[in-house]
Amino acid sequence: MLPPGSTIGILGGGQLGRMMAMAAMQLGYRCIAYAPPGDNVAADACADIFEKGWGDRVALAAFAAKCDVVTWEFENVPLSAVAAISGNLLACPPRALEVAQDRLNEKGFIAQLGGTSAPYTRVESDEDFVRALNAVGTPGILKTARDGYDGKGQWRIASDREASGVRFPGKPCIYEGLVAFEAEFSVILVRSREGEVRFWDSTANRHEGGMLAQSVLPAGALIEAQVPQARELAAKTAQALGYVGVLTLEFFATKGGPVFNEMAPRVHNSGHWTIEGAATSQFENHIRAICGLPLGGTATRFASIDMRNIVGEDALSAHTILAEAGEPHLHLYGKREAREGRKMGHVTRVGHSLK
C-alpha cells in the first residue's frame, strides 16, 4: 500500500488527470503531472507540473524521480515516454497502451479473447482502400490506425459514390464496416493489484459527431441483457493485460449481441456520472487500485442518472444550469479557450436516491 503523503505522477495534463488528482488529494496523496506545454488544466489540482515534450528524457527522468507511482490519463502517451520511466514505478504494464494505441492491434487482441468486432481490414495505400471497399463494402468508416479520438481521424462513407471522394490520408488506417446497432454502451471496471475486479453499471451512450454527448441510466432492457457478455470480455481483457486501475470497453448493442467498438485503458468520459452517482467514483477507485488500497463499492446511488458533456462555447453560459430544479451537478474543467468541439465540462442530473 502506498502511504498517505506519497506522490502520484500523472502522464497527461487534461481534465481526466485533473479529476484523478482531485480524488487523490481526498485520499491524502499529492500529484504531479507531465505534459507538453499547453492548456494543462490538471495543473490546477497538482502540486507541480513538468511542461516538457514527450521526447525529453532528461525531464521525464526528473519527473519520475519525484514519483512513488506513475499512471496516465489518456492512451496516446508515446510508448517511448513510458519506456523512459522505470517499470517499478508504473502502476500498470505498458502493454495496455501498446494495444489501445493501434486500432488494428486492438481488434486482433480482442478477437484472440473471443470478442466480436465490426468487419475490418488494414489500409496502407490507395490500392488497399479500393480493396477494402470491395471486401467490406459500404457503408463504412475509414479511420487512422493511431491517434484518433472523439471522432477525429475518421471519414464516414455512406455509399460507393461517396467513397470516390475520399482519399487515403497517407498514414496507416483501418476500414470498418458500419454495425447495425440499436444502442451504444460502455463497460467500466476497476481491477486491483491482486486481480479483484468490480464493475459500475453500464450507461446508454449517445454520440454526436463521433464524440460522446450523453450517458444515461437506466440503460434499457436491450443493453442490460447484453452487459453480462460484455463484462466477461472486459474482465478477460483486464486479466490478459495484467491491468491495474480503471479500464473501459465500448460496445454496440445489436440484435445479435454486443459488438466491441474500442477500449480505453483509463478513466472514461462515460464514467463521469460516478462522481455523484456511484458509491465510489471511477477516479477514486483508480487511485485506490494503483496505490494498493481496498477498492470501493461501485453500486449506483440513484434511480436515474443523466450525464451530458458541455462543449465549446456552451461553457460560457453553463452556470445558468445551477438555477435548474433538481440540484444539477456542474463540473467545468477550467480550460481557457472554448473552441468548437472541445470538451469544457459536464453536468450530471440525478433522480431520487435508492437508499
Enumerate the known binding-site residues.
103, 143, 148-154, 176-179, 184, 207, 261-262
How many CA atoms, within 13 angstroms, populate the side-chain half-sphere of residue 207?
Answer: 15
Give residue 236's Cα distance to chain centre: 18
How far apart CA 304 and CA 350 sit, in angstroms, is 6
Q: What is the DSSP letter of 227?
A: H
Grid coordinates in use for 286? 483508480
Contacts of 18 (CB under 8 A, 6+ apart): 41, 42, 44, 45, 333, 334
- Comparing CA positions, the residue from 102, 103, 33, 105 lying closest to residue 70 is 33
- Comparing CA positions, the residue from 150, 148, 118, 107 lying closest to residue 237 is 107
Contact present, 270 and 215 (Cβ < 8 Å): yes
How far apart CA 177 and CA 126 sit, in angstroms, is 18
Measured torsion, CA atoms of residues 171, 157, 141, 130, in degrees rounded to the nearest 10: -50
How far apart CA 276 and CA 280 sit, in angstroms, is 9
Residue position matching grid coordinates 486479466: 239
Residues annotated within the binding site for ATP are 103, 143, 148-154, 176-179, 184, 207, 261-262
Between the CA of residue 13 and those of 7, 20, 354, what are the distances in Å? 16, 11, 35
Grid coordinates in use for 102? 493501434
Helix (H/G/I), strand (E/B), else coil: 344: strand
